[in-house]
Homo-oligomer: A and B are copies of this chain.
Amino acid sequence: MKKLINSPEDVVRDALRGMEAAHGDRLRISYDPYMVVRKDAPVQGKVGIISGGGSGHEPMHGGFVGPGMLDAACPGEVFTSPTPDQMLEATKAVNGGAGVLHVVKNYTGDVMNFDMAADMGKGEDIEVETVLTNDDVAVEDSLYTAGRRGVGVTVLVEKICGAAADDGKSLAEVAELGRKVNANGRSMGMALTPCITPGSGEPSFELAEDEVEIGIGIHGEPGRFRESIGPASQIAERLMTPIVEDLPFSSGDKVLAFVNGMGGTPLLELYVVYAEVAKIAQERGLQIERNLVGNFITSLEMQGCSITLVKLDDDMTRYWDAPVNTPALRWGA
């Protein structure tokens, strides 16, 4: 295992030290428990929004903390859920009196711990609502999940809810919007290579020299099938067909198309995939109104990509366009 780390035990702490050194003017980093918090939190009168999950998916979630998106993120160890205590601390840190939204990806540990944290928050008289993301159409139930996994749509929920909170929406309204984004969103991923967690030192799975896995999870959870690698056009079709047919997306729908890199795939290749996604969308009459191409929800150095489509309405589009100022997503600010 070759990695740019000091030791497997310290990788999350050391990365947070880097976040603090790079973004300490805008973010407050806590080491006990681990938290990335907007420096000006809590913002009085604004709904606070937190998320969290295992590390190894950067920039998600710490890279999405800042005006227009998350108020705080709770990183766990690599591919390990953060704890309820951590989530409670974050909830308290961002509560500006208008309640706190938890954005939770559907993995068993995250769901259980966020549930406990929500109860603990309510016990301290903080209103808490939860948006659970479960957009991955690849499989029902998985290695760490009952039901569908939460993947790419999480990024979009965090952005759109962040803007709605900035716009003065109530906790119930922000939560409802987040659930709508999730309900309107579908994703699927694939891998060319596994990743190696620092703790294990071993690849999360094995793929043959010419093989890809279609429907992979962001922790290397099994997908739908393996096959010999084909052209990008075929891979895009393998992901787009289940996505489009699941919602289903229909001709005339306005969508946001998000091509996400798993961490180890060159941007050059992500744009090749995006070209195929745009072509398939056009053939099916989908109008791509907004797009995002890059590494936003990753799996360490895994090579591969995922595709997310979200059916947009005017509110979502307006909130997507609203200013955001975080380390990983920034515009208009």
Nearest B-chain residue to A191, judged by Cβ: B2
A322 to chain B, nearest CB (A): 14
A268 to chain B, nearest CB (A): 5
A26 to chain B, nearest CB (A): 12
Query: A271-282: contact bitstring with B at CB < 8 Å (1 yes, 0 no)?
Result: 111110111000
Determine whether the beta carbon of B270 is less than 8 Å from that of A4. yes
Complex Cα spacing A18 to B325, Å? 26
Within A284-319, the residues touching B (CB, 8 Å) are 288, 291, 293, 295, 298, 300-301, 303-305
Q: Of the candidates B56, B231, B278, B288, which one forms a contact with A7 in the assembled complex, judged by CB atoms under 8 Å apart? A: B231
A66 to chain B, nearest CB (A): 12
A212 in contact with B266 given A15-B272, A18-B272, A273-B18 (CB within 8 Å)? no
A250 to chain B, nearest CB (A): 21
Complex Cα spacing A15 to B275, Å? 7
Complex Cα spacing A215 to B270, Å? 28
Complex Cα spacing A198 to B321, Å? 36
Determine whether the beta carbon of A274 is less than 8 Å from that of B7. no
Determine whether the beta carbon of B229 is less than 8 Å from that of A2. yes
A68 to chain B, nearest CB (A): 12
**Other contacts beyond A4-B270, A18-B275: 8, CB < 8 A:** A5-B232, A12-B268, A17-B271, A21-B277, A58-B271, A267-B295, A293-B327, A301-B303
11 pairs across A/B with beta carbons < 8 Å?
A2-B192, A2-B210, A4-B270, A5-B272, A11-B268, A16-B271, A17-B272, A21-B279, A22-B274, A267-B298, A331-B331
